[in-house]
Amino acid sequence: MAIEWKQGFKPARNTASGIRMIRPLLVLFITLAHLFVIDHMSRVNGAATLNFDNWLMVYLKAGLAKSGVPLLSLISGYLAVVSLERYGYGRLLWRKARRLVWPLFWSNMLFIILVIYPGQSQDPSVRPDLQIYPFNLLGWFQATFAFYRLPANEPLYFLKDLYTCFLLLPLLLAASRVKYLNVAVIVWMAYKCIYLKSAFFFEVFPLWFLRFDIVFAFYVGLLLNYWQKDLVIKNRNLNLALVVLFLVSGGLASAVYVLLARPDHLEFFLWLDFIVKVCSVAGCVGIMSLLVAYPGRLSRSLAWLSPFAYTLFLTHVFTFYFFTRGYLYFFPIPEFFSISGWLYIVTMLLTAVAVSMALKMAWSLLMVRARALA
């Protein structure tokens, strides 16, 4: 029997428009985390000199790159209430399985077959956390479904954790509707985002989260829907302040990341990570609101790119990997802080976008022809 919830708040039209515009920008931020030429961890794990080169490298990967997942999770929670009312719990899980679990499966399987398996056969240091070569059934399962491991296609852990949020949707939704309890739950979740030892909902797969801030942001989205808050803010000055807060908080945190060694200040770094993610959500909401309030060429371009954003998320690691292999076949390793490095990054990002567009359009054309034949 379908579960019926009668308290859902249907978002305004400008919210849907804003989400469509901000989605490709958030996915682009996520792709920054997987630019191979940027080795920010050497700066984060060991204290380094605070100069522009080190700061920018850390800012791109530890600041901007972390701003995509939290808001995408919040948006998913915000829209989940309407989906639950429309489809019911069972049908919603089936639809999300097709949207999240199926791509999680095929994308990781392709990455195992094309990248990880041949890589480990030649070099055991390739993803040593995964047992792929020689063939190991548990290792393949872990790499495919993010079973207590980052999957083969690493950013796709987000799909597993997001689907877990939908599995927990009735429980999370019930908690969000109870006065005072909803505030207590959000405080508890914020605490779990910071302290890794308790960063689990239940220590049973799939209810174990690789990143607990995903369920935290998802729950915040549920609360905003319950409180009937529009995600698009109409106050221009507030939006500008949120954008500045986002940029400044990420910039200052990145300076701290460069100066201090993460292993020696782990708890402090976790607090900073959480603060940066919260500020990033606020800042990206400000950007989204400005895009809606002042439509122009950028807004139209982002709206046009939006249908390709999910395909870009699924395929950008493939493109980055094979682009880098082809690049290194003809050219030396690019230096990040040089013209060659920036050309390499820009060209690779444009290639990833082009590949995602080509794959999306080819798949859409195939489906149209298949339906016509049927």
* CA–CA dist 285, 266 (Å, integer): 29
Task: Tell me if 70 sits within 8 A of 220, measured CB to CB.
Answer: no
* CA–CA dist 88, 119 (Å, integer): 44
pLDDT at residue 92, rounded to an integer: 96
Query: pLDDT, tens digit, for every residue of 67-102?
Result: 899 999 999 999 999 999 999 999 999 999 999 999
Asked if residue 176 has pLDDT above 90, the reply is yes
* CA–CA dist 271, 273 (Å, integer): 5
Report percent pLDDT > 90 for the chain.
Answer: 71
Taking residues 232-260, report their average pLDDT. Answer: 95
pLDDT at residue 301, rounded to an integer: 95
Task: Tell me if 236 sits within 8 A of 293, measured CB to CB.
Answer: yes
Residue 138: both structure tokens together: 């548990």
* CA–CA dist 44, 269 (Å, integer): 10
pLDDT at residue 240, rounded to an integer: 97
pLDDT at residue 11, rounded to an integer: 66
11 preceded by a cis bond (ω within 30 of 0) = no
pLDDT at residue 2, rounded to an integer: 39
For the chain, the 3-state helix, strand and coil shares in percent, each to the nearest 5, are 75, 0, 25
Asked if residue 6 has pLDDT above 70, the reply is no
Q: Return all residues near 61 (Cβ < 8 A) that are at least 6 apart.
A: 32, 33, 35, 38, 40
pLDDT at residue 332, rounded to an integer: 87
Q: How many CB atoms lie within 10 A of CB 261?
A: 15
Q: Return all residues near 289 (Cβ < 8 A) that are at least 6 apart.
A: 18, 232, 233, 234, 239
pLDDT at residue 206, rounded to an integer: 86
Taking residues 267-288, report their average pLDDT. Answer: 94
pTM exceeding the 0.85 threshold for the entire prediction: yes
Measured on CA atoms in the order 66, 69, 73, 74, is the torsion positive or negative?
A: positive
Buried-state track 262-271, b at ≥16 Cβ within 10 A, e below 16: beebeeebbe
Taking residues 265-276, report their average pLDDT. Answer: 92
Taking residues 11-28, report their average pLDDT. Answer: 90
Residue 19: both structure tokens together: 């989400």
Helix and strand counts by DSSP (H, E) for the chain: 17, 0
Taking residues 113-142, report their average pLDDT. Answer: 95
Asked if residue 304 has pLDDT above 90, the reply is yes
Split at pLDDT 50, 70, 90, the class of 198 is low
70 or 332, which is more confident?
70
Residue 148 class from Cβ within 10 Å (0-12 exposed, 13-18 middle, 19+ buried)?
Answer: exposed
Q: Return all residues near 102 (Cβ < 8 A) that are at least 6 apart.
A: none
Taking residues 306-313, report their average pLDDT. Answer: 96
Report percent pLDDT > 70 for the chain.
Answer: 95
Q: How many CB atoms lie within 10 A of CB 167?
A: 15
Query: pLDDT, tens digit, for every residue of 33-59?
Result: 888 777 767 778 788 888 888 899 889
Asked if residue 9 has pLDDT above 70, the reply is no
* CA–CA dist 152, 167 (Å, integer): 23
pLDDT at residue 4, rounded to an integer: 41
pLDDT at residue 1, rounded to an integer: 32
Asked if residue 199 has pLDDT above 70, the reply is no
DSSP secondary structure code for residue 333 in this structure:
P
- In 3D, which of 117, 138, 141 has the Cα closest to residue 127? 117
- In 3D, which of 119, 200, 176, 123 has the Cα closest to residue 152? 119
Q: What angle do CA 174, 176, 182 make, to 5 degrees?
A: 125
